[in-house]
A and B are shown apart, each in its own frame.
Chain A
Amino acid sequence: MRAYWKRTLWAYGLLLPAGVWVLVLMFYPLARAIVDSFTNLNLLKPDALRWIGFDNYVTLWNDPLFWSALKHSLLLTAWAVPLELGIGLMIALALKQPLPKIGFFRATILFGWVISIVAQVIFFKTLVNPHTGWISQWLQLAGLADWERNWFQDPQVSFAMVVLLHVWRNAPFFGISILPVLLAIPKALYESAYLDGATPLRQFFYVTLPQIRWIVVALVLGHIVFTFSDYTMVAVSTGGGPVYATEVIPTYLYKQAWSYHELGLAAATGTVMFLLLVVFAIVYIRHQLKKQS
C-alpha cells in the first residue's frame, strides 16, 4: 500500500511543472473567459464592470456581422477541409510509388507547411501583386490582361484566395500524414483482391480506404478545428475585408476585443466558437483515446 502511494506521488510530482503551467495559463484563462462573457467588461471602462447575464449573446444574435462571420467560417471549413483531403490523398497515393527520386518529392513537399503563416501570406501577396507580381505579368504575356485583379481585395475572389491559402498549406500535410499508413498496408491484401478480379478502383475503395479510415478521421477533425479557429491567415491576407467579405469568427472576435475593447462581447463570441467546436472535440477525443489504449 505504501509503495502504491509512493508511485502515485512520484508520477504526479513529475507531472507538476507541466500541470501548473497548463492550469495557470490555459485552464484558468478558459474558465475566466467564459465567466467574462456574462459581463460588460470593457478595456477602457474597467470600473463600470457588472453582470449582464446573456446580454452579450443577445447582442451577437442581433448582429448581422456576427452571422455573416459565422457563415464565412463554416463555408471556409466546408471548402478547405475536403479539398485538403482530396488533394492530400492524391499526394499520398503518388508518393507511395517506389520510383527513383521519390525521396526528393517526399522531402520537399512539406515546405509550405513548416513556414510561418505570416511568411506564407507575404509570399502569396508578392506572387499575385497587381502589376508587379509574376501572375500579373504572365497574364499580360498571355494576352489575358483583363483577368488581372487585386486578388486579395476583390470581393469576388478574396474568399477563394483564403481557401487557397489554407489548401496550399495543409494539403501536403494530409499527404505526408497518410503516406506511412498507406505504406503499412500489407501487400497480400492487394494481391488477394487482384486474384479475385478487383479493378484498381475497387481495390482503392475496398482495400485502401478501410485501412486508412482512422487517420483520415483524425486529420479531418483536427483540421476542422484548425480552419475554424485560425486567425492569422485571414488577418494578414485580407484583414476580413474587403467590406467584411472574408470576415470569419476569429477576426470578428479579435476586432471586438482589441479594436473596440469590448472584452465581454469578444469572450461571448469565443464561447460560442468553443461550443461549436466541442462537438468535434468530443468525437476527436474518443477517437484518440481509443487509438492510444
Chain B
Amino acid sequence: MNGKFKVFGVYFFLSTVIVLVMLPMAAALWGSLQHQITPESSILSWSNYAQVFQHPGLFRSILTSLMTASAVMILVVLASSLGAYGLCRYSPPGLRMVLGWLISLRMFPLLLMLIPLFRFFMQTGLSNTVWGIILAQGAFLLPASFWLSLVYFRQIPIEVYEAAEVDGAPVWVVMYRIVWPLVAPGIGVIAFLTFVHSWNDYVIVSIVTQSLQVSTLPFTLVNMVNSVQGNQGVILALACLLALPPIVLYLVVQRQFHKGWLSTL
C-alpha cells in the first residue's frame, strides 16, 4: 500500500512539473497558430509562420543566426580540442595555473567586459559584423567548452596518443582519426552546448550589433517586442522558431545529459 502510494506520488509530482514546464510553451505555440490573438478565435492556421518566411528581414535574421551559431560551434570545438589535446598529451609545467585561470575566466562578469569590447570593436570595424558576433560569443563560450574537453580528453590513456604519434602522424590526423572518435559523445555535447548558447544569446549581440542589418533571431525578436507596431502573431511564431532547434538538438543528445558530466561544468 505504501509502495503504491509512493509510485502515485512520484508520477503526480513529475506530471505537475512537466505541465508547468510545458504550459508557457503551449500557450505561445497556440497563440502562434491563431490568425489574430483573441480569446474567441479557434481556427488554427500557419499564416504567422508564412509571414515570417516571406518577410526578407526576418528570414535573413534566421539565416544569420544559423550561420553564426554554426561558425561559433566549429571554431570553439576546434580551439578547445587542440588546447585540451596539448594539455592532456604533454601535461606541461604550469598546467595547474592554466586550469586555475580557465575556471576563473568563467566567473568574469560578461557585462563588465562588454563595455571595453564595444569600443574595441568600434575601433577595429568589427561592430555590426557577423565576425564580431562570432568572435565575441566564441570567447565567452571557450572557457566552459575547454573545461569540458579536458574532462573528456583526460579519459583517453596517454598510451593511445603515444601509439598514434609513433608513425609521425601530425596532430590533426591523430585528432581526427583517433581522439575525436574515442570521445565522440563528449564532442557532441560540447558542440550542442556551444551551438545552443550562441543561438540563444541576446546580450552579446545587442552590444556588437547596433542596427538590424546584422541581427540574430533573439535580437530581432526583442526589437519587435519593444516596437509599437509589432504583430503579436508573428512575434509568437518567431519565438517558437527560436525555441525549436535547441529542443530538437537536445532530444538528440539528451542521453548524454544523464551521465554526470554536468557536475563538471
Q: Which residues on the B side are within 8 Å of A214 (C-beta)? A: 263
Q: Specify which of B24, B116, B240 is in contact with A33 (CB 8 Å cutoff).
A: B116
Q: Specify which of A124, A222, A293 is in contact with B24 (CB 8 Å cutoff).
A: A124
Cα separation A18 to B82 with both chains bound (whole Å) = 8
Contact A289–B100 (Cβ < 8 Å): yes
Contact B146–A106 (Cβ < 8 Å): no
Residue pairs across A and B with CB atoms within 8 Å: the count is 270
A267 within 8 A of B: yes
A25 within 8 A of B: yes
Interface flags, A59-93, vs B, CB<8A=1, else 0:
00000000000000000000000000001001100
Contact A22–B37 (Cβ < 8 Å): no
Do A29 and B120 form a contact, CB below 8 Å, given A17-B78, A292-B99?
yes
Chain B positions 2-39 with a Cβ under 8 Å from a chain A Cβ: 6-7, 10-11, 13-14, 17-18, 20-25, 27-28, 31, 37-39
Q: Chain A interface mostly helix, strand, loop or mixed?
A: helix
A172 within 8 A of B: yes
- Beta-carbon nearest neighbor of B11 in chain A: A99
Q: Which residues on the B side are within 8 Å of A53 (C-beta)? A: none
Contact A119–B113 (Cβ < 8 Å): no
Contact A176–B258 (Cβ < 8 Å): yes
Interface flags, A168-191, vs B, CB<8A=1, else 0:
100011001101110010000000
B212 within 8 A of A: no
Cα separation A284 to B107 with both chains bound (whole Å) = 9
The stretch that binds A, out of B43-51, B52-60, B133-141, B181-189, is B133-141
A266 within 8 A of B: yes
Cα separation A277 to B111 with both chains bound (whole Å) = 13
A215 within 8 A of B: yes
Chain B positions 98-142 with a Cβ under 8 Å from a chain A Cβ: 98-100, 103-105, 107-120, 135-136, 138-140, 142
Do A184 and B112 form a contact, CB below 8 Å, given A14-B85, A123-B25?
no
- Determine how close the nearest CB of chain A comes to the CB of B258; give it in whole angstroms: 6
Interface flags, A251-287, vs B, CB<8A=1, else 0:
0011001100001001100110110011011001100
Contact B83–A18 (Cβ < 8 Å): yes
Q: What residues make up the interface of B, taking CB atoms closer than 8 Å to A?
A: 6-7, 10-11, 13-14, 17-18, 20-25, 27-28, 31, 37-39, 78-80, 82-83, 85-87, 89-93, 96, 98-100, 103-105, 107-120, 135-136, 138-140, 142-143, 146, 150, 171, 196, 199-203, 207, 217-218, 221-222, 225, 235-236, 239-240, 242-243, 246-247, 249-251, 254, 257-260, 262-265
| 30 chain-A/chain-B pairs, Cβ below 8 angstroms | A7-B92, A10-B90, A11-B89, A12-B92, A14-B87, A15-B82, A15-B87, A18-B79, A26-B143, A29-B120, A36-B115, A105-B17, A110-B257, A112-B25, A115-B25, A116-B201, A117-B200, A118-B221, A119-B243, A120-B24, A123-B25, A123-B239, A124-B24, A180-B262, A222-B265, A236-B222, A254-B111, A257-B118, A258-B207, A277-B107
Q: Contacts A119-B221, A126-B31 given; 11 further ones with Cβ under 8 A?
A: A7-B90, A7-B92, A13-B86, A15-B83, A21-B79, A21-B138, A25-B138, A25-B139, A110-B250, A215-B263, A288-B103
